[in-house]
Amino acid sequence: MKLNEIRDNKGARKSRVRVGRGIGSGLGKTGGRGQKGQKSRSGVSVYGFEGGQMPLHMRIPKRGFNNIFARDYAEVNLGAIQKLVDARALDTKGVIDHAALKAAGVGRGGKDGVRILGKGEFSAKLSFRVAGVSRGAREAIEKAGGSVELIEVVPAAEKAAAKKNSKKPRKDA
Q: Tens digit of pLDDT for each residue in 3-13?
A: 999 999 999 99
Q: What is the pLDDT at residue 116?
A: 93
Over 70: is that where the pLDDT of 170 sits?
no
Instruction: Give the pLDDT band of residue 156 (cuts 50, 70, 90).
Output: low
Query: Could you tell me if 131 and 115 are in contact, meaning their C-beta atoms sit under 8 angstroms apart?
Result: yes
As a whole number, mean pLDDT of residues 134-138 equals 93
Over 60: is that where the pLDDT of 173 sits?
no
What share of the chain in percent tops pLDDT 90?
44
CA dist., res. 134 & res. 166, Å (int): 35
Instruction: Give the pLDDT band of residue 143 (cuts 50, 70, 90).
Output: very high
* pLDDT tens digits for range 85-101: 988 888 888 899 898 89
Instruction: Give the pLDDT band of residue 153 (cuts 50, 70, 90).
Output: confident
Contacts of 72 (CB under 8 A, 6+ apart): 109, 110, 111, 112, 155, 156
Residue extents of the structural domains in the chain = 93-154
| Closest among 71, 82, 61 to 153, alpha carbons compared | 71
As a whole number, mean pLDDT of residues 133-146 equals 92
Q: Mean pLDDT of all residues in the chain?
A: 87
Over 90: is that where the pLDDT of 44 sits?
no
Q: What is the pLDDT at residue 168?
A: 63
Taking each continuous run of H as one helix and of E as one strand, the counts in the chain are 5, 6
| Phi and psi torsions of 39, nearest 5° | -80, -10
As a whole number, mean pLDDT of residues 46-66 equals 90
CATH 3.100.10.10 assigned to domain 93-154? The reply is yes
CA dist., res. 73 & res. 138, Å (int): 17
